[in-house]
Each structure stands twice: as C-alpha cells, then as structure tokens.
C-alpha cells in the first residue's frame, strides 16, 4: 500500500525519542537523485499507492522538489513528513507546483520554550508555526503530529488546542515507541499508568468535541496494551521502508535485528525484494509463529506483534511479543511499567540524551 522513503538522516533537530536507526546514514552514502527516481518508478510499477517522503528532515535534500514531481508524474500519492523548520515560502510554492498532496508537520510541544527544548533547536517552534500557515495558505490539508511522552504528556490539552488553532484537518497524537534511540531514553520517556489513563480520557473527549471537523489518530505505547498492534500492518505485508542508503526494510527498526541482512535497491529491483527477499519472508504470515501466537485467534489480526520489540525486550526477534498478556515473558513489561508507576518527580528521572546528527 505504501512506501516510506527515508531520503536522508540529516536533521537539525535533536529529539531524544528519535525513531531513526542507531547507525545513521551519512550524506555520502545516500542514494542520489537518479537512484531515488528509479525507486519511485519501480514503486509505481509494483502497485504502491502512497509515497511518504521522510527522514531525518527531508527538506535537507536539495532535490526533494524534483523527487516529489517525479512521484506525482508516476501517479503516486505524495506525502511529506517534516519538522517544518527548513520550510520557506519559495520552497512551499515549489512543492505545490511539483504536486505534493499532503504534509504532516511535527511538533514537540505546544509551549514554545518546551518545544525548543525537546527538539534541541532554538526558535524551532516559531518556524513550525510559520510552516503551518504556509501549508494552509497553499490550499493543502494539514496534519499536525505530536509525539507525547512522560515529560510532555500533561500538555496534551494544549497540543490538541494548538492543532485546532492551526487549522489541522487531522491531528496525530503518538506516544513514543521504544526502539533505537528512544529505547535508550525509555526510563525518562515512558509515562506512568495514571498519565496514560488521563491522556486516553482527554483524547476521547477531544474526538467527541471535534467530530466531523478534525480527525484524531491516537497511538498508545505498546507497553500498556493487553494485545500487541499489527506492526506496519504485518511484517512484509503492506509497507516497504527504504533507508537513505537504499536498503529495504519491512519496518523502520528492522535493522536492529542483528541476525538479519536486508537487500538494497542498488542491487535488486523493488519487486524482487518485496516478492523474494528472505528477510521479507522471515516473519511474513503465520507459519513462523511460536505458540501461543500460532494457536491464537488474533494471529491474522496482529500478526504476532512487533519483531523489533520482541528483540528489545526478550532478546530474540522470533519470540512472542512480550507486550502481549499471553506472552510467557509478559512479566518483563510489567516490571518496566511498575518502575515507571513509582511516584517520582520529573527531577528524579534520568536526563534525556539528545539525538545529534553528525556528518
């Protein structure tokens, strides 16, 4: 259904919950313009419907407008996921002319000072507000993304209000997911159960109040779920994820699994990788599943949950996802939650380790 293209890992922000891999791709290792154009053409031939330009910060690529135009010319729905801090009026106009269909604008907080602190970019919040105005004035629909965690979750009502004020047609409230760099900061980011329950109630109320005007997507932290989510719609079933180097993954964090190797579009076609690559076949479907997944009536709903999470928590990507209450290792998750539920002040939390891009 969709291809998520990390066209660069370059980024001016320093978010502690960064979802990019621990090993970032350097500019000299990125696919060039012709390489990404070839990917776009092969994606259209394969039947991909949506092409998502992301990063890092995709606006750091000087050829972004050219790539968007090529995707639009090949009949793909184009979506840009950006922090907005590098967006200018001229670039906005060029993107519209190129055929961009939609833009998702990310925020770290509603309060300017807190937003700049979490993003590690002075003046970044003001640039995001300006970017939102440019997007709306261009006639495009706007999605505002807010990543929430223990240290900003109490500002959730203000985030929702900001999304409404900016003219969003869709607001995404996404709790931090603990892979890669975010896993390193988990103890400082994972909310308490009380915080999560309060957030759930706030989102429910907002959905009722904004129904018919603004859609709200809500992604909860897996650690508090009784059953795992179908990560990426199931391993190798609905999405392709391509790193700036051209390496093709079933999900953004799959490279954390050390026993696996992933093919590159530099060496094989996108169709060959999707249809025949052993890495995509490894956890596709249900045959690989251990019990209780294999005998579970949800096996074709959640597809066994997240392989990267099984690795991060249980040490083996082939294990039952420990967030599932039926997992033999669910106690690992309960122990983490119990630690977070202790009555500690934010001053007692470990310091956040910012993610700095170094070229």
Close Cβ partners of 103 (under 8 Å, ≥ 6 residues apart)? 79, 80, 81, 82, 95, 135, 140, 142, 143
* End-to-end C-alpha distance for the chain, whole angstroms: 33
**11 annotated as belonging to a binding site for a ligand:** yes
CB 72 within 8 A of CB 95: no
Q: Quick one: how many helices (H) and strands (E) in the chain? A: 13, 9
- Cα–Cα distance for residue pair 58/83, rounded to 1 Å: 9
Question: In the numeric block, which tokens belong to residue 279?
Answer: 């890495």
> Are 183 and 308 within 8 A, CB to CB?
no
Q: Which residues contact 121 (CB under 8 A, 6 or more apart)?
A: 12, 13, 14, 85
User: Nearest-CA neighbor of 54 among 136, 141, 143, 134?
Assistant: 143
Judge whether 306 is annotated as a binding position.
no
Which residue is associated with the tokens 């039947």? Answer: 47
Q: What angle do CA 232, 233, 237 make, to 5 degrees?
A: 100
Q: Is 251 annotated as a binding residue?
A: no
E strands, the chain, where?
2-6, 50-54, 77-82, 102-107, 142-148, 170-175, 215-219, 239-242, 248-249
Binding-site residue ranges for [4Fe-4S] cluster: 11, 15, 18
Q: Give the residue numbers of the binding site.
A: 11, 15, 18
């Amino acid at each position: 259904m969709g291809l998520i293209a990390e066209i660069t890992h370059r980024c001016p922000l320093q978010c502690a919950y960064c979802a990019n891999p621990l090993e970032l791709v350097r500019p000299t290792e990125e696919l060039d313009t012709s390489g990404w154009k070839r990917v776009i053409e092969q994606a259209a031939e394969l039947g991909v419907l949506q092409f998502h330009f992301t990063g890092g910060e995709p606006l750091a690529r000087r050829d972004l407008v050219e790539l968007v135009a090529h995707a639009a010319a090949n009949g793909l729905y184009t979506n840009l996921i950006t922090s907005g801090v590098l967006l200018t009026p001229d670039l906005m106009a060029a993107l519209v002319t190129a055929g961009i269909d939609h833009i998702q604008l990310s925020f770290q907080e509603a309060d300017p000072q807190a937003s700049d602190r979490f993003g590690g970019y002075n003046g970044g919040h003001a640039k995001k507000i300006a970017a939102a105005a440019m997007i709306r004035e261009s006639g495009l629909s706007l999605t505002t993304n807010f990543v929430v965690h223990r240290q900003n979750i109490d500002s959730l009502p203000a985030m929702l209000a900001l999304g409404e004020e900016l003219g969003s047609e869709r607001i995404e409230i996404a709790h931090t997911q603990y892979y890669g760099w975010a896993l390193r900061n988990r103890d400082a980011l994972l909310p308490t159960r009380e915080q999560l329950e309060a957030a759930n109630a706030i989102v429910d109320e907002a959905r009722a109040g904004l129904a018919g005007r603004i859609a709200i997507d809500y992604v909860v932290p897996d650690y508090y779920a009784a059953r795992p989510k179908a990560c990426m719609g199931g391993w190798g079933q609905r999405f392709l994820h391509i790193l700036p180097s051209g390496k093709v993954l079933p999900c953004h964090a799959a490279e954390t699994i050390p026993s696996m190797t992933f093919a590159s579009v530099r060496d094989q076609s996108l169709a060959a990788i999707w249809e025949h690559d052993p890495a995509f076949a490894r956890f596709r479907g249900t045959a690989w599943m251990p019990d209780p997944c294999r005998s579970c009536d949800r096996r074709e709903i959640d597809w066994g949950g997240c392989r990267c999470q099984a690795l991060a928590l249980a040490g083996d990507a082939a294990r039952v996802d420990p967030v599932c209450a039926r997992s033999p290792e669910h106690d690992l998750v309960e122990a983490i939650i119990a630690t977070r539920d202790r009555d500690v002040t934010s001053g007692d939390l470990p310091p956040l380790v910012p993610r700095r891009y170094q070229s």
